[in-house]
Amino acid sequence: MAFRRDFAVFCVVLCVDIFFHRQMKVEDANMKAVFLDRDGTINVDYHFVHRVEDFEYVPGAIEGLRFLQNLGYVPVIVTNQSGIARGFFREKDFEELTKWMVQDLKKQGIAIAGVYYCPHLPEGKVKKYRKSCDCRKPRTALFWKAASELKIDMDHSIAVGDTLRDLSICQECGVKGFLLSETEVSDLPENVTCVKNWMELMKCRKMIE
């Protein structure tokens, strides 16, 4: 697999079925992070988005990411990408879109510390990715991989996603979760708060700080 020099430090590590993409090295040994889902949280979920021309930011996402970054949270993306296993797009397509997204967010003042993704699906069409794994959410291996690689303080971190599986890490440690949902969700885990959108999340400053 080839990587272009203009993509800062961008590498792939294969370990216990975990695919890890990191844009830059983070020196702070005890940093707090915001774990972010991608589709439906950062970009509008048009189902298996893999082209730049189909990528559209969720309203308020850019402002919300800046808000959290200004509070000291380092953005880390954790995303399921079963479209790869389904054969809808190639891993290379995901990587190219990721490169564009990270650079576009950087232009808007948002520095993504890492992008971790799972390409697997037990019933996937592509044999290489047809497997049960520990990295597909709601399993939490990708979160813990990020915590280890980036030296994240999990008890002072948060997670934002549009489904409860995006917040599964909140049931294993002190990470606070924020569920983006226009409809009310019952039986939420104790440390998960439901907000309608990014704008409402930004009103929860006291809960986030």
Write the CA distances from 200 to 194, 203, 208, integer angstroms.
10, 5, 12
Establish whether 39 is a catalytic residue: yes
* Gyration radius of the chain over CA positions: 16
Least Cα distance to 24 among 111, 125, 99 occurs for 111
Q: What is the dihedral of CA 93, 99, 104, 107, to 10 degrees?
A: -170
Contacts of 166 (CB under 8 A, 6+ apart): 37, 41, 78, 137, 159, 160, 179
- Among residues 6, 17, 39, 104, the one annotated as catalytic is 39
Q: Reduce the DSSP state of residue 94 to 3 states and report it.
A: helix
Residues 162, 181: contact at Cβ < 8 Å? yes
- Among residues 6, 17, 37, 153, the one annotated as catalytic is 37
Establish whether 37 is a catalytic residue: yes
Catalytic residue numbers read: 37, 39
